[in-house]
Amino acid sequence: MEVLARLLEIADPGANLEAWQTAAERELLAPSRLEAPIRPAKELREIRAIELLEYFAAPGADADATRLAAIGLLNKLAAGAPDARLTREAKASRERLERRADM
């Protein structure tokens, strides 16, 4: 939750963490969609945070403000250092969201 709280604070300083937390716990406790081998804990937390942001940013997400905050944060993360894993994951997430929107 610390990673999500920090990411949320960057995206939307006035956001209600408790509102995100309920859905976040549901998503984080679900089996991961990762098919890659086991990763270091920090990397796994970052990937899960991106997955969670993608979930909230998806078309049809419940709250428009939440969706826009998630999209904004993914955009900020995707603009990071090109070689950083977090940047690449955020870019891939945005591409998946764009493909869903085109369908």
For the stretch 18-40, pLDDT in tens is 766 666 666 665 555 544 566 68
Helix axes 2-11, 41-57, angle to 10 degrees: 50
Going by C-alpha positions, the residue among 84, 21, 80, 78 that lies closest to residue 52 is 21
At 26 the three-state DSSP class reads helix
For the stretch 49-99, pLDDT in tens is 999 999 989 887 666 888 888 999 999 999 999 998 899 999 999 999 998
Q: Where are the domains of the chain?
A: 2-32+42-102
